[in-house]
């Protein structure tokens, strides 16, 4: 009887080992899938960072344009003796720069 009991225990242990082996294979598959997801997320993060960098460059360019407009406005205010034609020309230049800024903002 002792042999039968040992055989039964061996079968139970063998079955348990087989189940554990299947579980380990499932876990390894899950880990591979998670790693693929992490890799895709990293690609997305890299693309987003690239977009952020481009937007930052655009913002810096717009800030420079705004500074130029501010200088133009200050020049107009300082030089009140300009004739109307010069005022109109300067205002037209400012309007052009503002139109360019609006186009840039609309593109984003």
CB 97 within 8 A of CB 65: yes
Q: Is the pLDDT of residue 24 over 90?
A: yes
Greater model confidence, 40 or 5: 40
Q: Give the CA count within 13 Å in the CB-facing half-sphere of 32.
A: 6
**Across 23-29, average pLDDT:** 95
pTM over 0.85: no
Helix (H, G, I), strand (E, B) or coil at 95: helix
pLDDT tens for each residue of 51-106: 999 999 988 888 888 888 888 777 776 776 556 667 677 778 878 887 887 777 77
Q: List, for residues 30-52, the tens digit of each pLDDT value.
A: 999 999 999 999 999 999 999 99
Q: Which residue has the tokens 């952020």?
A: 52
Whole-number pLDDT of residue 108: 59
**Domain total of the chain:** 1
Whole-number pLDDT of residue 15 = 94
Tokens 């503002």, residue located? 98
* Domain with 95 in it: 2-107
């Amino acid at each position: 009887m002792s042999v039968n009991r040992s055989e039964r225990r061996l079968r139970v242990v063998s079955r348990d080992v087989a189940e554990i082996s299947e579980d380990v294979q499932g876990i390894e598959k899950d880990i591979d899938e998670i790693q693929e997801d992490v890799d895709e997320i990293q690609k997305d993060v890299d693309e987003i960072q690239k977009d952020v960098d481009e937007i930052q460059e655009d913002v810096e360019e717009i800030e420079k344009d705004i500074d130029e407009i501010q200088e133009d406005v200050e020049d107009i205010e300082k030089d009140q003796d300009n004739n109307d034609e010069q005022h109109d020309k300067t205002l037209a230049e400012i309007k052009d720069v503002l139109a360019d800024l609006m186009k840039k903002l609309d593109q984003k």
